Amino acid sequence: MGRLLFARTRLLQSLSWKGVGALLLCIAALSAWTWSGVLFTTKTLTFEEHAEYFLSILQRNVVSYFPIYVTVALADSVPVRDARRRVLLAAALVAGVLLAVQVRCAAMPDQLIYVYGSTHLPYCTAFPTWRTYLDFPNTFITPLTIAGVVMIFLFGRRRDAELVAALHVAAAVQIESRRQKIESEIEAMRSRVDPDRLLETLRAIRGRYEENLVEGEASLDELIRGLREAAGRPAPAGAA
């Protein structure tokens, strides 16, 4: 089971350290962006209050997005393709969002808000909670939207990379096939043509050229026809 979950290293391909690290970086960036809203508050905050608010947002985002990552990663490891794969990933996204709401209700029943003053608002009153989906729709709409956009981007990039890799493989196979064909033709020609006999024939043709130009050209034409036959290629149109 451990090898199945940690063997692959591509993002969202499985529960890999690379994917978890990228997830934490995205969560930290999203938390910093959410924390920046405290700069518009009229209340003066100390460093400890800023740190407390940022850590509460970071914890909230980890609880909200990590279940989504787990469900999508597990669904991504299932060996299905095309339309069934897209349906499975979409279902895993929705299931992860619904699970994240329940996990957050159990781990963080309250949430800290500093934008309009230091306020603790109830996130849920009981676990498991179903009223949260109706009372606080933003708790699942925002993660669903952000996670969906990230999934489309990552899986789109992966699909493009796989297409490019497939094209490279097809080109390499074609080049290798042509190379093998040329090598086989050369080997076939070598098996039909005796190098020693060819050298003797060339010397004889040279002697005929020295004695009679016409006979030398006729011998050379005959040698060329023989080489073409050995190579398995037809003579060009109009050849004597």
| Span 139-166, pLDDT tens digits | 788 889 989 998 888 888 888 888 888 8
Please state the separation of Cα 24 from the chain's center in Å: 20
Per-residue pLDDT, 210 = 74
| Inter-axis angle of helices 47-76 and 82-107, nearest 10 | 150
Omega before 128 within 30 of 0, i.e. cis: yes
Q: State residue 92's pLDDT score.
A: 93
Radius of gyration of the chain (CA): 37
What global pTM score does this model have?
0.61
Span 7-59, pLDDT tens digits: 444 455 556 777 788 888 989 998 888 888 777 766 677 888 888 888 888 98
Q: Which two tokens stand for residue 149?
A: 């956009």
pLDDT of 121 reads 62
CB 139 within 8 A of CB 132: yes
Give the per-residue pLDDT at 38: 75
Q: Which of 13-22, 144-153, 199-208, 218-227 reaches the highest mean pLDDT?
A: 144-153
Query: Per mean pLDDT, which of 95-99, 121-125, 136-140, 226-230 is the most reliable?
Result: 95-99
- On the 0-12 / 13-18 / 19+ scale of CB atoms within 10 A, 191 is exposed
19 contacts: CB under 8 Å, gap ≥ 6? 10, 11, 12, 13, 69, 73
